[in-house]
């Protein structure tokens, strides 16, 4: 059965003790009124973007569920330790594979998966960014299956988005239900923008003098996450720039301003590697800054996340993250991986082909709930069609068991009902590794659905961590 995060049989669990009265006492008409109010607030703010790689209509509002998702302090402590451990291992891996490649030499990860990976950038081999950090903002997608059972679904080491939902969901909850925040001691998340700025400042290049100038580099307003870029720049108190606002001169990068050029020290880019510098990567890119990579490599500017960081987060490398924790940190992984069958191995291929109806199959480079098969929820014809696709290119797929995602109480038309959820916390890596107590909870609003992606009928919730 599914783990219900609020109820243990008929008993309300500790985390939700302060909330059940609130739910019970809210009349249906008030609830509907509040729900309409929440939607109006979101629309007014204009937060209507899709979470990274999810696709779908960028102007569609992602449904907001007013029922918060709650962790106790002790539950969170354990999660926090696991997330930080994973973040350390992922950065150690990146430093290694762009250096001597010890983990490959030791035979713990196949060379092919690293060096023939599309996300591996030979342009940064041999370069160690400040503090040895490659991925500065890591979004780790987690699901829960039991009281102490958490699994990592995937790591996002490039430019994970969704943090503006974490901040806005809280903002809106506090505005609509101030009494909840008086009655419950909830850890704040609003320190995130400051913490992000301070984290980025700690990875400024050695050549930087004075307080580092941080900018956010966006592809522009047509990007589906543009709202988040401008939202973060505003809260962090830094400039939001496009490629054309920056230029390279001599050994540094400058920003064009009305008061003349200003040197830029740290670029938080929300632009894929392929587009950041037409001299090194795609030459047809109009979004990047020509010469940026040369300045980066000679220590004149920091780019966050580092170009090439994506090699740590594809679904093939994912299966080796527990191995990274053991290899680099000498620790046992606190967070588990989902069992994964890699279809380029003959044994795994055979198992998956024999059990396709029970498994979830995903594309190695896919995201957003597209290009995947959820065996138990598919028709025979769909399974057979997918089988042919796998056979045509086995190494493009991995398979996992269908997980029993935990449920949280969620407002639905009929009242309150359990719906499946996941969690994306945002881990910050600079001089120190930091995690604000919270994250983005996504909820599958369709009854029985296990797909939380907004493009597939998912919504979002405020995520609470209770103080001691």
State how far the Cα of 103 lies from the Cα of 348, in Å rounded to an integer: 23
Of 434, 349, 421, give the one whose Cα is nearest residue 68: 421
| H or E stretch covering 186 | none
Among 68, 139, 278, 458, binds another protein (CB under 8 A): 278
Instruction: Please identify, using beta-carbon distances, which residue of 141 and 277 lies nearer to another protein.
Output: 277
Among 21, 57, 59, 251, binds another protein (CB under 8 A): 251
Instruction: Please identify, using beta-carbon distances, which residue of 63 and 290 lies nearer to another protein.
Output: 290
Instruction: Please identify, using beta-carbon distances, which residue of 278 and 437 lies nearer to another protein.
Output: 278
- Contact flag: residue 160 with another protein (CB under 8 A): no
Q: Interacting stretch for another protein, rule CB under 8 A, among 131-139, 162-170, 248-256, 375-383?
A: 248-256
Of 18, 19, 65, 13, give the one whose Cα is nearest residue 410: 65
Q: Are 162 and 440 in contact (CB under 8 A)?
A: yes
- Contact flag: residue 283 with another protein (CB under 8 A): yes
Residue matched to tokens 């909820």:
443
State how far the Cα of 333 lies from the Cα of 27, in Å rounded to an integer: 45
Among 46, 99, 183, 376, binds another protein (CB under 8 A): 99
Q: Are 308 and 121 in contact (CB under 8 A)?
A: yes
Q: Are 318 and 138 in contact (CB under 8 A)?
A: no
Q: Interacting stretch for another protein, rule CB under 8 A, among 72-80, 107-115, 157-165, 219-227?
A: 107-115
Q: Which two tokens stand for residue 315?
A: 């679904």
Of 53, 9, 129, give the one whose Cα is nearest residue 453: 53
Among 300, 368, 418, 438, binds another protein (CB under 8 A): 300
Structure letter (DSSP) for residue 395: G
- Contact flag: residue 123 with another protein (CB under 8 A): yes
Question: CB-based contacts of 223: which residues, under 8 Å, 6+ apart?
Answer: 229, 270
Instruction: Please identify, using beta-carbon distances, which residue of 127 and 344 lies nearer to another protein.
Output: 127
Question: CB-based contacts of 309: which residues, under 8 Å, 6+ apart?
Answer: 94, 134, 135, 157, 158
State how far the Cα of 101 lies from the Cα of 294, in Å rounded to an integer: 23
Q: Interacting stretch for another protein, rule CB under 8 A, among 29-37, 65-73, 106-114, 419-427?
A: 106-114
Site string for another protein, 127-156 (x = CB under 8 A): x-----------------------------
Instruction: Please identify, using beta-carbon distances, which residue of 123 and 174 lies nearer to another protein.
Output: 123
Minimum distance from CB of 193 to another protein (Å)?
A: 32
Q: Residue 305: is the preceding peptide bond cis (ω within 30°)?
A: yes
Among 9, 27, 107, 126, binds another protein (CB under 8 A): 126
Among 11, 44, 122, 211, binds another protein (CB under 8 A): 122
Please give the residue ranges that form the binding site for another protein (CB under 8 A).
98-101, 104, 111-112, 114-116, 120, 122-127, 244, 247-251, 278-280, 283, 290-291, 294-295, 297-300
């Amino acid at each position: 059965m599914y783990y219900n995060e609020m109820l243990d049989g008929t008993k309300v669990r500790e985390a939700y003790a302060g909330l059940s009265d609130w739910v019970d006492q809210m009349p249906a008409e008030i609830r509907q009124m509040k729900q309409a109010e929440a939607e109006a607030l979101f629309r007014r703010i204009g937060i209507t973007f899709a979470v990274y790689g999810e696709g779908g209509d960028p102007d569609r509002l992602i449904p907001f569920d007013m029922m918060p998702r709650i962790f106790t302090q002790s539950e969170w402590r354990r999660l926090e330790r696991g997330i930080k451990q994973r973040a350390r291992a992922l950065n150690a891996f990146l430093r290694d594979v762009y250096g001597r490649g010890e983990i490959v030499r030791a035979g713990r990860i196949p060379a092919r998966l690293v060096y023939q990976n599309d996300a591996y950038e030979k342009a940064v081999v041999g370069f160690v960014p400040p503090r040895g950090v490659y991925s500065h903002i890591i979004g780790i997608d987690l699901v829960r299956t039991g009281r102490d059972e958490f699994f990592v679904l995937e790591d996002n080491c490039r430019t994970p988005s969704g943090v503006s939902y974490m901040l806005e969901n809280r903002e809106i909850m506090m505005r609509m239900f101030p009494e909840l925040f008086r009655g419950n001691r909830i850890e704040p998340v609003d320190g995130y923008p400051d913490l992000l700025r301070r984290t980025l400042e700690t990875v400024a290049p050695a050549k930087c003098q004075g307080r580092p100038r941080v900018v956010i580099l966006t592809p522009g307003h047509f990007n589906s996450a543009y709202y988040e870029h401008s939202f973060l720049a505003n809260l962090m108190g830094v400039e939001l720039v496009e490629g054309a606002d920056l230029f390279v001169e001599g050994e540094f990068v400058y920003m064009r301003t009305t008061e003349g050029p200003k040197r830029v020290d740290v670029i938080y880019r929300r632009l894929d590697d392929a587009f950041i510098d037409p001299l090194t990567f795609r030459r047809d890119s109009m979004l990047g800054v020509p010469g940026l990579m040369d300045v980066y490599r000679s220590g004149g500017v920091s780019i966050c996340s580092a170009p090439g960081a994506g090699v740590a987060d594809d679904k093939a490398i994912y299966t080796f993250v527990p191995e990274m924790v053991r290899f680099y940190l000498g620790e046992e992984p606190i967070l588990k991986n989902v069992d994964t069958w890699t279809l380029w191995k003959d044994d795994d291929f055979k198992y998956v082909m024999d059990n396709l109806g029970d498994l979830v199959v995903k594309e190695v480079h896919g995201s957003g709930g597209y290009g995947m098969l959820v065996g138990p929820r598919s028709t025979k014809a769909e399974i057979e069609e997918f089988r042919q696709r796998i056979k045509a290119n086995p190494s493009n797929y991995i398979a996992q068991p269908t997980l029993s995602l935990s449920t949280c109480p969620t407002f639905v038309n009929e009242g309150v009902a359990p719906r499946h959820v996941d969690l994306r916390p945002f881990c910050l890596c600079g001089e120190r590794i930091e995690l604000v107590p919270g994250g983005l909870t996504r909820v599958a609003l369709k009854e029985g659905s296990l797909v939380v992606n907004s493009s597939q009928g998912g919504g979002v919730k405020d995520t609470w961590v209770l103080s001691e």
